[in-house]
Amino acid sequence: MGVNELSLIGVAIAVGLGAALLPVFVNAEVYVVAMGATVNSRPFLALLILIHVVATTIGKAFVFQLARRGTNKIRMIEPHPPRNAVSAWFRRIGQRLSRTRFFRWIKRINDWLLSLLDRPYSGGLTAFMSSLIGIPPLAIVTILAGASKQPQWVFLTTVFTGRLIQFLAIAFLLHKVSWF
């Protein structure tokens, strides 16, 4: 293994941890797409994806423990009034979209999945769906799961499995990576 491969492994670990801790600034899915465009070896790309998923899961375990030790109550915050005409326009558009049938269906599924987090083992379904398709967002699910009764091993197992399937599917569809 050369310096290039070791540096790609280090970047996979750094981006995985960064995506778990700062999901607004570091996107794990975009990294998988970019990684596939720069790596020529398909087996090495699959290995990088596996390392990236492990790093992401370790970062989510850290956030889970912070939420578990930090608070047991999540409070709702009232939205502030819009500061300017542009933000008021975006808010009106969002309110119109939220009244459509599709978004009401997504909201019902989202609310149902989040209600499962109160149950110790069926909350794993929420973590799996969140890590696989992103509904509800995994950053929110991680914090709520840490504050709930969900066992950490269930959460981490489902997050690892969902992220691995998602990233391998991205790599397979865009870069023809497979285990065979």
Q: Of 41, 59, 57, 61, which Cα lies nearest the Cα of 166? A: 57
Residue 45 counted as domain residue: yes
Tell me if the bond preceding 136 is cis, omega within 30° of 0: yes
Residue 19 counted as domain residue: yes
Residue 91 counted as domain residue: no
Residue 78 counted as domain residue: no
Of 48-57, 96-105, 165-174, which one has max mean pLDDT? 48-57
Residue 93 counted as domain residue: no
Structure tokens at 4: 């290039």
Residue 55 belongs to domain spanning: 3-72+98-175
pLDDT digits (tens, 9 = 90+) for 135-144: 888 988 898 8
Structure tokens at 127: 């973590």
Residue 32 counted as domain residue: yes
pLDDT digits (tens, 9 = 90+) for 18-45: 999 998 899 999 999 898 888 888 889 8
Give how many domains the chain has, as a whole number: 1
CA distance 59 to 21: 6
Q: Of 161, 91, 95, which Cα lies nearest the Cα of 130? A: 161
Q: Using DSSP, how many helices (H) and how many strands (E) does the chain show?
A: 8, 0
CA distance 24 to 132: 18
pLDDT digits (tens, 9 = 90+) for 38-89: 888 888 988 999 999 999 999 999 999 888 877 544 455 566 777 888 888 8
